[in-house]
Amino acid sequence: MIIIGIDPGLAKTGFGVIDGVRCIKYGMIVTSPDVPVQMRLRTIFREICAVLDAHKPRELAIEQLFFSRNVSSAIDVSHARGVVLLAASERDLDVFEYTPNKVKQAVTGSGRADKKQVQKMVRAMFGINEAMPVDAADAVAVALCHANMRLPQN
């Protein structure tokens, strides 16, 4: 089953498309802070739609919103999440949400892993030899977390 993972953000939205043990595609949608928010959101929406249409995932896994100090950054992430969820809804995709700690636990074995540890494990698990942006690695990790959650538990 093809699953897309999303690490949402207004400046950088990471995505990762997996199919079992293969990482089919990963990347980032980058928007400029010099562009009005609505234009940045349109870019994210259009590019996510293009990825969804190209790879036709059946399920979308996205990181749950978590913030502790910076409310304005949480609002920006919420905007990005909204357009991603809209794109998923328009394609009747099932959406699953995971906390950052759950994703880290699923990929590294520790809910306290840092972004570099997640990136290293994702690259190792999928045999990715080239440099990989951390936001894209986080998105692949979200997809992998969801794939692991789908497995029957003993």
Residues belonging to the active site: 7, 63, 135
Query: 140, exposed or middle or buried, with CB in 10 Å at 0-12, 13-18, 19+?
Result: buried
| Radius of gyration of the chain measured on its C-alpha atoms | 15
